[in-house]
Amino acid sequence: MSEEQIKTLEAQFEERIAHDEKIEAKDWMPEKYRKTHIRQISQHAHSEIIGMLPEGNWITRAPSLRRKVALLAKIQDEAGHGLYLYSACETLGVSRDELYDQLHSGKAKYSSIFNYPTITWADMGAIGWLVDGAAIINQVPLCSTSYGPYARAMIRVCKEESFHQRQGYEIMVKLANGTPEQKEMAQDALNRWWWPSLMMLGPTDAESVHTEQSMKWKLKRKSNDELRQQFIDQTVPQADLIGLTVPDPDLKWNEERQSYDFGEIDWDEFWQVVKGHGPCNKERMNARVTAWEEGEWVRDAAMAYAEKKENKKINKAV
Ligand code: BYC
């Protein structure tokens, strides 16, 4: 293709983005747009898959049958989210095997939040309330992202995430209204998950390398700092309502801005976790790679069965 032709296609592409038209898999798109989407969608898919592990740790120890069923369903939803997202990513011309390989070799990123331990039952409440809460705030704008397959996957994901958030908050409400020990457990979980949840929304706008371009392409519809502020403003009143204290001495309602001012985030901790040095990075990767290797016979058996069925069909047709 000549340079002139590419320029024309680029101009048409920008025009479509400006008119909020969805870009579909078979449409022409700039190579950088395709690569940026593969990066973000695959990181998102990996986060859903690795995100099952901290909660999976509590399935056998859920305090009642009702809690166990709800937790199992939530984790299963996350597996589903990972699969929709891998499928959306594949429409951009990358294979599922390549994506898994990037995750298992440690080349691909996944959300920092899943590298923290889940040490009490209250952590199941805190994850649903705070982590899924932050995820919804980040993902609702993604429902109107410019790439069609990603936007459509996000609509379904968001519907399920809002149940997850309520499930988590309900656990926190119960614990906060329980015995002093239970309330203390809820407060301890909030203390440990609050700051990592703020970090999960990504580096500050000043530090974010991709935001500017991603906003132009309408991949991102809001910046990391805007989403973080929205999360804080939404979540602090929820903590107040159940008598828990957000662990930030600098948190203060700002009458003028009609928003909360908040304390300094420890960005060194964030980057350490992103670089693989968080409390559970190694444990998460080991668990994932082991599950993948030990599941090989299941994949092989499914493939053998599918091939056998296919051969039968062909033989019948002949
Ligand atoms: N953790 O320029 P920036 C869930 C990286 S799953 C690790 O701001 P961008 C759930 C970033 O990748 C939730 N790395 O990037 C599941 C970039 O590095 P690369 C996951 C992070 O993309 C189970 C560099 O830092 N949600 O909901 O414009 C149970 C510079 O950042 C993180 C999604 O994935 C992080 N937290 O903005 C419960 C949503 N933050 O790629 C819940 C989709 C940044 O250049 N993703 N980095 O090597 C997004 O919206 C955006 O990718 C982000 C980051 C806001 C996360």
Q: Over its length of 318 residues, how does the chain's per-residue pLDDT go in tens digits?
A: 788 999 999 999 999 999 999 999 999 999 999 999 999 999 999 999 999 999 999 999 999 999 999 999 999 999 999 999 999 999 999 999 999 999 999 999 999 999 999 999 999 999 999 999 999 999 999 999 999 999 999 999 999 999 999 999 999 999 999 999 999 999 999 999 999 999 999 999 999 999 999 999 999 999 999 999 999 999 999 999 999 999 999 999 999 999 999 999 999 999 999 999 999 999 999 999 999 999 999 999 999 999 999 999 888 887
The answer to whether 165 touches 136, Cβ cutoff 8 Å, is: yes
Q: What DSSP state is assigned to residue 178?
A: S
- Give, using CA atoms, the residue closest to atom 34 of ligand 1: 44
The DSSP result for 117-129, as a single string, is ---STHHHHHIII
Ligand 1 nearest-atom number relative to CA 39: 41
How far away, in angstroms, is 44 Cα from ligand 1 center? 7
- Give, using CA atoms, the residue closest to atom 20 of ligand 1: 44
**CB of 111 sitting under 6 A from ligand 1:** yes
Token pair of 67, please?
Answer: 């809690």
Ligand 1 nearest-atom number relative to CA 48: 16
Closest CA to 225 of 194, 199, 192: 199
Alpha helices by DSSP H, listed for 92-147, are 96-104, 122-126, 132-139
How far away, in angstroms, is 146 Cα from ligand 1 center? 18
**CB of 43 sitting under 6 A from ligand 1:** yes
